[in-house]
Every structure is written in C-alpha cells, then in structure tokens.
Amino acid sequence: MKVGILGVGNLASYLVQGAQKGGHAFVLSPRGVEKAAELAARFGCEVAESNQALVDECDHILVCLPAAEGEVILRGLVFRKGQVVCSAMAAKVKLEDLRLSVAPAEVTLSMMPGYANAFSVGPTFLYPKGSVWAEFFADCGPVHELPDAHSFETAVVFGAMSGASVFLMRHLAAWYEAEGLNPAVARSLVAETLRGNAEVFLQSDKSLDAICNGVGTPGGITEQMVSHLRQDGALESWHHAMTSILHRIAPDRKL
C-alpha cells in the first residue's frame, strides 16, 4: 500500500516502524515536522507539502490526529470516491460522524496499543469487518475485525488497559530493584514472566478458571498474594477503572 498519515506523532511512528516488513510506502503530513523529518530519514517516508496534498496523492489514509481537533481538520479536506480512510483517533469519535467528514471516501475505525505495534506484536481491532486495512495492520501484529459498534466500543477499552499494564510492569520492576535486584534483571524478570503467562492464555485449551486453579496451590504463595490483592481491592479496581473508560467511550450505554 501507499499510505498517507495525517498527524505524525508517536502512534504514527510506531505504525510506520512496525509495518516495514510489508514494504508499504508512506506519505506523511507536515503536522509534527520534527517527527516527520525523523521518519523520513529512518524509513524513507515522503513528507507532503500540506494535508490536502497528502489526500490528493494517496488512496489509503490513516488518521492519527488528536480527537479534539481531528474531525475539524478532516472536514476541511476534500476526499474522493474510492479512497479508504482509517481512523486511529480516540474511539469516542463515531463512525457515522467520520463518514460525514470524509465522504465520499470509505471509513474504518481502529484501535491498537501503539508501542507494541512497532515490534509487530500489538493487536489491532477494526470495525466494520471486511476492511482493506486488515492487510496493513497484519504487519503490525494480530488483527481482529469486529462485527458491530457495541463490540468495538468494548474492545477499545484495551487501549487504556494496555497502557495501564505498562505502568503496572514498571511498578513491579521497581519493587525488585528496591529489594536489591539488578535493574536489568528486574526488568527482564517482570517482562518474561508476564509474556510467559500471556502465552499460556493464548496456547492452552483450558478455561481461564482452570488455568488459575492450576497455578494457585492451597496455602501457597500465589494464594497468599492474590488474597492480599483482593483484600486491598487491587483486582476489583481494574474492573472499575475499565468500566469508567467504557463509560467515557460510550456514555449512552447502560453499564
């Protein structure tokens, strides 16, 4: 694909890096001049003279603009039939509104963690199904196409969950460092442990309850730690936090 990217910040840089194995060509908007220049130098990207010049040149346009001003910027551009636009803006921007902003072009909504996509391991969720963007994002990690807006809104909470889990990992590594473990070893210990557990979820055919029962021996240290976390509300707080994000994304939904 020849992909035009409107809004060149961290997310755009992650996706350009992750998609390199696909051999895609990228045209970057002049928004974020320093980042655009960096990507042009590293990956041979073209930098357009203006947002409209980018839209005129590309049939595939990825929108990484801030949600607060993204729709306004899109409404100021002229799109054509046959173009396919993918919005990676905050999920509160609705599909119907974006369709009006970029008509007569087609629209797909997406959500991905960002940083993990730079290493081609981050999942991407797309709505509606059947998007040509699935091919592009497959170079940045696993792709999941969702059948309806309700499912997409729910899945999009993973963007916040993913980011929060990075802070959790840093917090865990800091504990090991404070107890005298070498920082590099602490970092690897946390990352490799959680990556290993993630592979169990992905590869085991057992239910999640069965997996938990298998790692928690009665009277053992796992049971002790989980008990402390529950007493402090640490596990339930994730539930409440994720529900608050869903309410922000879909304020009209009954939660």
Lowest mean pLDDT among 74-83, 90-99, 130-139, 231-240: 90-99
**pLDDT band at 255; cut points 50, 70, 90:** low
pLDDT of residue 102: 96
According to CATH, the superfamily of the domain at 2-147 is: NAD(P)-binding Rossmann-like Domain (3.40.50.720)
The answer to whether residue 24 scores a pLDDT higher than 80 is yes
Measured in degrees and rounded to the nearest 5, phi and psi for residue 98 equal -65, -35
**Residue 153 — φ and ψ, nearest 5°?**
-60, -40
Exposure string (b/e) for 52-77, b if CB count within 10 Å is 16 or more?
A: eebbeebbbbbbbbeeeebbebbeeb
pLDDT at position 66 over 80: yes
Which pair of tokens denotes residue 216?
A: 């928690």
Residue 94: what pLDDT? Answer: 85
> Could you tell me the pTM of the whole model?
0.92
Nearest to 243 by CA among 185, 151, 161: 161
**pLDDT digits over 200-217, tens only?**
999 999 999 999 999 988
The pLDDT assigned to 252 comes to: 83
CATH class of the domain comprising 158-249: mainly alpha
What is the mean pLDDT of the segment spanning 71-81?
96
Band of residue 52 on the pLDDT scale cut at 50, 70, 90: very high
Across the chain, the runs of DSSP E, i.e. the strands, are 2-6, 25-28, 46-47, 60-63, 84-87, 106-111, 124-127, 143-145
**Percentage, residues of the chain above pLDDT 70:** 99
Q: Is the pLDDT of residue 13 over 80?
A: yes
| Residue boundaries of the structural domains of the chain | 2-147, 158-249
Q: Distance between CA 247 and CA 188 in Å, rounded?
A: 35
The stretch 169-174 carries a mean pLDDT of 98
- Rounded distance between C-alpha atoms, residue 205 and residue 200, angstroms: 9
**What's the mean per-residue pLDDT of the chain?**
94
